[in-house]
């Protein structure tokens, strides 16, 4: 004896469930992708690309001069979120540095702020105030005598 059941008819409820499921998946994917997009890249590299292109050769020349200095910088955050800065040349810690620094929130959620540094015992510099939690872009201008180097670091 075979069991012959009638197939259930396809109703409006079935179609409504399929449509709701489809759009739920589409909305979930869109929300996820939007969150990834907002949390990673702020979207703006320069204010005006034409003006930036006019300075490009000067920036390349400055970068070549900076490379010839042979400096290597170390920028980290300590447990209290103070910025720690060391600059070395030939594995020797450079002292007597003049530093000017600005921190920016990469998406513009906070106004740019100047960051002061104080010498640490044993060498290097430590920011006077800690950074708030979150992602920050640090722009540094480091001078040692007549030599100057510029660095940009992302801190989290």
What is the predicted pLDDT for the residue at 113? 83
Cα 107 → chain centroid: 9
CA distance 55 to 46: 12
Mean pLDDT in residue range 121-149: 85
Tell me what pLDDT residue 131 has. Answer: 86
Q: What is the mean pLDDT of residues 83-88?
A: 84
Element (H, E) at 103: strand 98-104
pLDDT bin (cut points 50, 70, 90) of residue 28 is: very high
pLDDT of 23? 98
CB count in 10 Å sphere of residue 8: 7
Checking if the pLDDT of 2 tops 70, the result is no
Say what the pLDDT of residue 42 is. 62
How far apart, in Å, are the Cα atoms of 53 and each of 56, 62, 67, 145? 5, 15, 21, 30
CA gap 46, 75 in Å, rounded = 23
Answer for the pair 143, 98: CB distance below 8 angstroms, yes or no: yes
Q: Is residue 21's pLDDT more than 90?
A: yes
Averaged over 45-53, what is the pLDDT? 81
């Amino acid at each position: 004896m075979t069991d012959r059941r009638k197939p259930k008819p396809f109703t409006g409820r079935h179609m409504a469930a399929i449509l709701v499921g489809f759009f739920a998946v589409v909305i979930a994917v869109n929300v996820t992708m939007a969150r990834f997009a907002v949390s990673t890249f702020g979207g703006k590299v320069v204010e005006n690309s034409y003006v930036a292109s006019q300075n490009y050769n000067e920036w390349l020349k400055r970068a070549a001069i900076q490379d010839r200095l042979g400096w290597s910088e170390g920028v980290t955050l300590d447990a209290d979120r103070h910025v720690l800065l060391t600059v070395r040349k030939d594995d020797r810690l450079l002292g007597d540095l003049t530093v000017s620094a600005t921190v920016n929130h990469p998406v513009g959620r906070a106004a740019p702020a100047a960051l002061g540094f104080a010498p640490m015992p044993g060498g290097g510099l430590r920011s006077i105030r800690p950074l708030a939690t979150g992602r920050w872009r640090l722009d540094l201008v480091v001078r040692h005598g007549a030599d100057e180097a510029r660095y940009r670091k992302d801190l989290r």
